[in-house]
Structure 1
Amino acid sequence: MKIAAIQMRSGLDPDANLAALKPLLAEAAEQGATYALTPEVTLIFPENRDQLRLAAAPFEGHRHLAEVGDLARQHGMFVHVGSLPIPLEDGRFANRSVLFGPDGQQLGTYDKIHLFDADIAGLDAYRESATYKGGDEAVVAAVADFRLGFSICYDMRFPRLYNALANGGATLIAVPAAFTVPTGQAHWHVLLRARAIETGSYVIAAAQGGVHQNGRATYGHSLVVDPWGRIIAELNHDEPGVLVVDIDAAAVAEARQRIPALANARDFAPPGLQS
């Protein structure tokens, strides 16, 4: 089937972001895409909690998500919103991914599991967990002849999640992202290729790109990696755009037969210190 990675430059206004998304989805549909993935923080790209509170809306009855469902039905296409912030009862937010079917109905949701909490020398401590609550469930959903594994951005640094998705039946894994430029230049391609190689799966990564309203700059370079770890298509820039690629389920079976790492994996005890 044909799959599409949608590259965006989302800002602080959900209405404007949705307006920017519409022609990109239409272009993907015109090119024959069955499934389209949008980036992380598609509908609002906030810089701080105050901006989140002003624009984030409850999940039930979410107006912009309803419009995306209408677009999926209009184009007869699976549309996967990479993520958007959803307010929770404890005052924090879920970074939630939402998949719509060609009939416009929601088929699955996933809350980003891994949150970036770090103390970096020379910089203030960064605590994503102060604003977001991490999810606790891996998700796989059916998309035509493929099984789609859900992940979001920073998740890509945690191979155990991708191993669980593949063992749960995933043959295509989505990585919507908003990678910074320095980490993108250093790690984007190698991490995505590694996740494809170790699981024998296709990986599709739809990215934010360029300088955003909130002052942040993101790397772009949306791409698709095949189950052998080859980058088969890439938007080699940070401008908004659409990347449409043909994928074949037989390639997953072939890669897993040639390198049966999933089948050969064994449980083991953690290391102990030996003297």
Structure 2
Amino acid sequence: MAGFRAAAIQMRSGFSVEANTDEAERLIRAAASAGADYALTPEMTTILCMDRERLLASISAEADDPSLARFRALARELGIHVHIGSMAIKLGPTSVANRAFLIGPDGGIVARYDKIHMFDVDLANGESYRESRLYRRGEAAVIADLPWLRLGLSICYDVRFPNLFHTLATHGAAALAIPAAFTRTTGEAHWHILMRARAIETGSFVIAAAQGGHHDDGRDTYGHSIIVDPWGRILAEAGTDPDVILADIDPAASAAARQRIPALASDPPYELPGTAAELETA
């Protein structure tokens, strides 16, 4: 098969899992109506909540999650790949995974990915985030085979760790999914630069679906869902409101970019000689 049409779905998820699932379904249907073969939703599609007790009371284990069941049925009905950028999945009484699900057109789960890098930070504007208090970090990178190319999975803060994306690309990923809930502060400073950098460094398409706007828990997210080609060109971009953006993905463009700039092939292993103390006194 040649190329495919990708959709990045922008949301403004709140506390109601049912309402968020309804909105995700509405936007996924809109993407399919516009010809999307693959639709990516943002990080924390079904609930955006930093309060542990409220979060735990609202979510389910994977086997019992009604939203996941709905998304699987929706993918089967529409006959497209539905990539839920992430959901909060209960692992035990007090343990939660920030987990992505790639669902195939038959409704089967093609791949799962648990977010590896936890966003723990205190911002100058007074905002504070401690994802490690809420979520158990993932331990494995994940690549999935789509009919058109290999897809590397990630979630939000992972984008700041280029070694992950280098690994995904060197193992065959020609497109990178980056669902996110960037804060407005960090988004304004870094969002476009990071997304374009990951595309250019790896010669890959970047499909980034974001949360955007003011949320029930008081946070403000940046939005600007974006699709970038392997040469770093922005193919589609949203604003801050819920939206669907689309772009046609040609796998040959990734091969062409990697041929023009063979960075992946030109990166041999190397060592930093000496101990840290020796380097400091050199």
Alignment TM-score, normalising by the size of structure 2: 0.93
TM-superposition CA deviations, 1:31-83 (whole Å, max 9, x none): 11110000000011112111211111001132110100001011100000000
- Within the candidate set 64, 71, 74, 1:71 is matched to 74
Instruction: Give 5+ residue unaligned stretches, structure 1.
Output: none
Amino acid at match of 1:222: S
Kindly state the Cα deviation for residue 132 of structure 1 after the two structures are TM-superposed. 1.1
Structure 2 counterpart of 1:198: 201
8 A contact 2:59–2:65 mirrored in 1? no
Partner of 2:54: 51
2:268 counterpart letter in structure 1: R
Between stretches 22-31 and 180-189, larger displacement belongs to 22-31
Matched, 1:250 2:274: no
User: Matched residues in 1 for 2:204 and 2:122: separation?
Assistant: 33
**Structure 1 match to 2:160:** 157
Aligned match for 2:8, one of 5, 9, 31? 5
Counterparts of 1:177-216 in structure 2, within 5 Å, are 177-216=180-219
User: What SS does the corresponding residue of 2:172 show, helix, strand or coil?
Assistant: coil
State whether residues 13 and 215 of structure 2, in contact with CA within 8 Å, keep that contact through their aligned partners in structure 1: yes
Distance (Å, rounded) in 2 between the aligned partners of 1:107 and 1:122: 40
Distance change (3 Å), C-alpha of 1:24 and 1:227: same
3-state SS, counterpart of residue 264 of structure 1: coil
The CA deviation at 1:100 is: 0.3
User: Which residues of 2 match residues 33-44 of structure 1 at below 5 A?
Assistant: 33-44=36-47
8 Å CA contact 1:9–1:211 kept in 2: the answer is yes
Q: CA deviation at 1:270?
A: 3.5
Mind listing any 5+ residue stretches in structure 2 that lack a counterpart?
none
SS of the residue corresponding to residue 60 of structure 1 reads helix
The one-letter amino acid of 2:252's match is: A
Query: Quick one: which amino acid aligns to residue 247 of structure 1?
Result: I
Partners of 1:136 and 1:90 lie apart in 2 by 21
Closer, same or farther in 2 for the Cα pair 1:216/1:30, shift >3 Å?
A: same
Instruction: Give 2:269's aligned residue.
Output: 267
1:271 & 1:212 partners in 2: Cα distance? 49
Q: Check whether the contact 2:144–2:151 (CA below 8 A) recurs between aligned residues.
A: yes
Deviation at 1:117, TM superposition (A): 2.5
Deviation >6 Å, runs of 4+ = none
Distance 2:255 2:50 in 1: 42
* Equivalent residues of 1:92, 1:130 under 8 A apart: no
Q: Deviations over 1:72-130 (max 9, x none)?
A: 01110000000011122472211000010011111000000001224567958743212
Is the contact between residue 175 and residue 203 of structure 1 (CA under 8 Å) also seen in structure 2?
yes
**Two-structure CA RMSD over aligned residues (Å):** 1.6
